[in-house]
Structure 1
Amino acid sequence: MKVLNSALLAVYLLVPLFCEGISGYKPSCKIYHENSEELFSEDEWNGGLEFGKLNDDTAVGPILKTYKTANISNILTYELNGHDNYLTVSKPENKDEFYIEIRDNFDQYEEKETAETMSLKIKFACDDNESRILKIKIPLRDTNNHSPQFLKSKYEYKLAMPLPKGFDFDTIDQIAVRDVNLTNKAIDFAIKGDEKYTKGFLITSLGRTKEDKKNFTARFITSMIMDFEEDTTFTLSATDAGNTTRTTETNLTIIVDKANSFPRFAEPEYIADLKNLDYGKVKKIMLNFSNGNDITLDRGFEGPVNFSLSDLSEENKKHFKLSSKGSKVQIELSDLSDTFLSQGVISEALTATKETTETSTAIIVLLPVPVNKVTERSTTVKPQESKTKDDSVNGYMVSTIILSLTTVGLLGYVIYLHFYRR
């Protein structure tokens, strides 16, 4: 019994010593520091190494590191974090050393990866049939070698006018850029061009997208009511936040959707001069306007548009007839009686109404002098000729003043309709 107890005690004392021997065993693989006879310590094997920063624009091909070895037969595996292997680890059979090289695809690292440090894990085969793993971290230095790139070559917005305050262009096409630089965290957007329009734009960065950390989007809205007369192109720029910033530009164009815009006449007023009309032979006439201008809507002519004349007496309404086709409007005068013609000048407002909006222009018709007035002048006695001439001059001046006042008043009314009843 004593012998058995002694044996058990011996086993109890020897097992820990045996286990300690096993746990303290280290594979025979050895690696020397670069250009040194100093071996990697156990702390370096266990904790890994960290290289100095590697520029992200380092040329492809050169050997990054060379290490002398002992008791290493070959490299079993090596792997790198990320979507691809950007390094090669190799050991010649006839040499006690191994190399870490930059692969040809390293120039794509920033395009595909977001990590600012490469983590390399190498598994060595030791001569004692054991294996050992070495971990290496390689931090990257961002040289800001890439400019931001717009996701589209240009941005075009075809829009009906006018644009309301707070109009959001993003609902049509959101502005976005891609910047693959590893450390860039922000993009500054700007629009340059005609200041009377750019002051009405508000463009701000929304930061990185959730789907792709390298894409940055912008919010683009109007800060006031904007009314473009014609298609207008601006310069859209994106600037990164690097120490030495890089900027990319493209075109941004506002295209006026004339057909679907709020209606607008091409001219603020139209004047038809009928003073030389031989009305005795003409009972109706289609009005032609100064400079050969037809009454037209230069925008807003798509869809149902209703035209109407206002500021006419009930009697005068009988002489005017409106007709329209597309963007063009015509006015016909009929029943040219002496009473009608004796008015000399007729002015009215032509209004175009589309859905809940309307716009107006002034129509001014200069009428001929009736025949009976001409006859009265021809029978006037000669001694009064000088007086008649003075009266004609005075009458012409008065008529001119009345016409001017009428035109100003009508234009004021048109402006009122255009801005306050829209």
Structure 2
Amino acid sequence: MSDHPAVTPWSWRRRMRPRDPEETQRVSTPLELLFDLCFVVAIGTDSARLEESLAEGHTGSGIASFLLVFFAVWWAWMNFTWFASAYDADDTPYRLATMVVMAGVLILAAGVPRAFDDRDFAVVFAGYLVMRIGLESQRLRAAAADPERRASLMRYAAGESGCMVLWAVAIFAVPDGWRLPVWLVAAAAELLVPPWAERARSIPWHPHHITERYGLFTIIVLGETILSASRAVQEGIADEARLDLYLVAAGGLVTVFALWWVYFSLPSAGLLTRTRAAILWGYGHYVVFASGAAAGAGIAVNAALATHHAHVSRTAAGLALAVPVLCYLTVVWWLLVRPHGANAPYAWGMPLVGLLTLPASLTPRPVPVIGALMALLIALSVWAHTTKSHRQNTPKTQPSPDAPTH
């Protein structure tokens, strides 16, 4: 159990005991919200670089760079978020350590252009090093105050420190031809640390707090999508292809609305009942976040094509939006909707609409067509929830005992 209740005033210093995973009214703190905002720059820069690559026809290299950089951004956020859910002491040392982590995030963001364009992760590594100093100091502090979970916390600290050595080798010590394979090995090692550490003893993260944190980060990603798309529309608003541009803006906006709608259509906290399931749920959100950000780049590419600033075919531009939407809907369906079973009667519509976006990319105006499909998905969701609510609220009639029988 926690040494502090669900709502506590700031303190100079308190023991970093684990938070109660069943405490009520657990919500994101102002410090966590500030922490999330530090990632806006990194996500926005990565998405903008993807849009430029797709618009110039550098599809393969652009997607690869985007995914590599986004992994670094997502993993940095995820490391801190799960630890904070279990050990947020909200005292002076914790706040200062979190601000050190934030400084590392901003350094990472500064290195995104070089990482994307040249696969030079030196500045990103420096940001990670600063973040890890802040985070591991708190893991060691928690290990000293929580002997029951000391082994798990020490595994986290040792595993993440060892991964920093692998990152250093991948970035600074191997030839260019071997850099990507070693990078992938280091990324795989990072992903293996939480399952290995949790085998000693599970860290008491808060299910409702975790799902709220992921939901807020989803909103940040979709906000960046709206920003990148609106920036493209602003730049081309004075051009001649105004009708096409307006159709792209309308279809893109409806698409973003639908991405938000389906993510928050059903509660998720009840799905995080076991550590293994929670880890898979958390890892699967890499696809959700990355595809949400990539959708913004896809909308921006179509806006650039409408103003004759993109050097790709209309089909390629349509696929730049259709593929991220397909990935987003499929993974959201798999992680957040499918587990509800009969409580999600419209669930089949999500992967189906996702698949239909692919032929939609072959149409003369793919973005408004995809937007229409996403509007249909919203309508299906509303209809299914309304029908279900009506059935639940309709009393079952019982035959009168005096009624004649036949």
The TM-score, its normalising length taken from structure 2, stands at 0.20
Which has the bigger relative contact order, CA under 8 A and spacing at least 6? 2
Higher Cα Rg: structure 1 or 2? 1
The TM-score, its normalising length taken from structure 1, stands at 0.20
